[in-house]
Amino acid sequence: MLSLTRLLVLLLATGIGASGRKNKYIVPGATWYDTDGQILSAHAGGIVEHEGRWYWFGQNERQEDKDLFSGINVYSSDDLLDWKNEGRALSPVPGTDIAPDLVAERPKAVFDPVNKNWVLWFHSDNSTYGLLRQGVATSPNITGPYEFQKAFSPLGGTSQDFGLFQDVDGSAYALYSNGDDPAAHDNLISRMKPGFTDLEEVVYTFLDFDLEAPAIVFSGKRYYILMSHKTGYRPNNVVVFSAEKLAGPWSIQSYVAPSGTRTFNSQSTMAFAVNGSHETTILYCGDQWATAKDLYESTYIWLPAEVDDRTGSFTIGWHDLYSIDVNTGKVTYPEGQTYEAEDGVVTGSAYKTVCCAQHSLETHCDLIQVFPNSSITIDNIVGTGNPQWVSLYYHNPDGLCTYRRYP
Ligand SMILES: *[C@@H]1O[C@H](CO)[C@@H](O)[C@H](O)[C@H]1NC(C)=O
Ligand SMILES: *[C@@H]1O[C@H](CO)[C@@H](O)[C@H](O)[C@H]1NC(C)=O
Ligand SMILES: *[C@@H]1O[C@H](CO)[C@@H](O)[C@H](O)[C@H]1NC(C)=O
Ligand SMILES: *[C@@H]1O[C@H](CO)[C@@H](O)[C@H](O)[C@H]1NC(C)=O
């Protein structure tokens, strides 16, 4: 059962992700194509900026790859819109701790100035998530290929979802949840030793918070840590804490997105600042996971954050699409024409109704309940004659909130 709330027709000509075309927009939740016209596969990723380019590392998940660990991909971009496939940063090696039947997840890279190496960190595990280790691989080149070094129990402990943060002073930190054992359920920030292939000490513990998918971003004044709750591949309300120092004290937590949207159906994986000439824009980057069986269908939810260092607030709002100028740091949102579903003509058993509960996404919430063999027709939609985006806003009352938009 579906309830259509409105239709937004964005009156602009745009490359709709077709192969070879230049992407003009970031479209949260849409299939993202690389510069070869292939589906961009970099899930649970990490981004690092190096010499004017961004490098996006992520899990390779493709329909044709049946192995548990099929590799870590790396893409590069100078505008955050068009990403060039730089190949496999790390490939599985049978008989080692990165064998194809094992797990290497949530990759993040950092440059080690001591050995002049790039170091790729990830969550290293077996198929039943019983090992709970961290893994490292190194390469003299940012794009690899990376050579696997080791998988280990950090500071003798356990580690599940992995994040990495490099501070402005150059020091690097591992962020991780320590698993689901009765004695665990914590989230840790641990400083790395020089060389960045091992940990030195825990600088902060979120004791018993039982969160995962950690990412830290620094606004210039405050640190923000994002983490999700533990609901597997189903999204939940990602929370944020802020602090003036990584060692805390950290604020209490609050939701990043309107409650009920499950962070617009996403789980945190990274956040980073685009430090432009006019403003610094922080982007929240999450994974919109498909089911464990169809991980390759997962997409990315990237949204600009609204950050207030005075109050420590960090929130994201929904945008169908937007563009970002990496030189100025400015984000622009294309405008469109909205057509309300309640103005449409219905047939069959469809009928007009209202939301009975307050709905955080809609100020105005008349909607049309659509059943099988019923229809709604919205007339007089005027297009430009060029390709355009159409966003369909709907509410699925079968679940708490399913909020998807199809271009
Ligand atoms: C994963 O590791 C744990 C801990 O060693 C072990 O108990 C479990 O059997 C392993 N799972 C598989 C599939 O080998
Ligand atoms: C690093 O990348 C450069 C440029 O692509 C290449 O010429 C060089 O062989 C690479 N080095 C290694 C060790 O892979
Ligand atoms: C952005 O760059 C300016 C100028 O280099 C610097 O003062 C500022 O701290 C930077 N902000 C962040 C968030 O890195
Ligand atoms: C919908 O209409 C078609 C054609 O009249 C009919 O065959 C089908 O059984 C109907 N389905 C439902 C769910 O009512």
Helices then strands, counting H and E runs in the chain, come out as 1, 29
Confirm or reject: Cβ of 87 under 6 Å from ligand 2.
Answer: no
Q: What is the mean pLDDT of each successive set of 10 residues along the chain, which is 407 residues long?
A: 59 44 89 96 98 97 94 98 98 98 98 97 98 98 98 98 98 97 96 98 98 98 98 95 98 93 95 97 97 93 98 96 97 90 84 62 58 83 86 68 41
Q: How far is CA 330 from CA 27, 150, 275, 282, 326, in A?
A: 16, 41, 10, 10, 7
Confirm or reject: Cβ of 372 under 6 Å from ligand 4.
Answer: yes
pLDDT of residue 260: 77
pLDDT of residue 261: 86
Cβ proximity of 376 and 341 under 8 Å: yes
- Report the C-alpha gap between 215 and 255 in whole angstroms: 14
- Counting from 1 in the atom list of ligand 2, the atom nearest the Cα of 144 is 14
Cβ proximity of 43 and 61 under 8 Å: yes
Q: What share of residues in the chain are helix, strand, coil (percent, to 5)?
A: 5, 45, 50
**Test site for ligand 3: of 275, 281, 327, most ligand atoms within 8 A of the Cβ:** 275
Residue keyed to tokens 């824009």: 281
Distance from the alpha carbon of residue 141 to the mean position of ligand 2, in angstroms: 6
Residue keyed to tokens 């602009």: 12
Ligand nearest to the CA of 128: 1
Q: Whose CA is nearest to atom 14 of ligand 1?
A: 126
Cβ contacts of 129 within 8 Å, gap of 6 or more: 103, 160, 179
The encoded tokens of residue 292 equal 């464990």
CATH number at 26-332: 2.115.10.20
- Counting from 1 in the atom list of ligand 3, the atom nearest the Cα of 220 is 13
- Report the C-alpha gap between 178 and 185 in whole angstroms: 6
Q: How far is CA 316 from CA 57, 80, 240, 264, in A?
A: 23, 18, 11, 9
The encoded tokens of residue 244 equal 């003036």
The encoded tokens of residue 170 equal 């150059």
pLDDT of residue 349: 81
Confirm or reject: Cβ of 273 under 6 Å from ligand 3.
Answer: yes
Confirm or reject: Cβ of 99 under 6 Å from ligand 1.
Answer: no
The encoded tokens of residue 314 equal 């960090």
> Considering only CA atoms, which of 136, 141, 80 is closest in space to residue 107?
136
- In the chain, ranges of CATH 2.115.10.20 domains: 26-332
| Exposed e or buried b per residue across 382-400, where buried means at least 16 C-beta atoms within 10 angstroms of its C-beta | eeeeeebbbbebbbeeeee
Gap between the terminal Cα atoms of the chain = 20
- Report the C-alpha gap between 356 and 367 in whole angstroms: 11
Quick check: helix, strand or coil at residue 293? Answer: helix
Exposed (0-12), middle (13-18) or buried (19+): which is 185, by Cβ within 10 Å?
middle
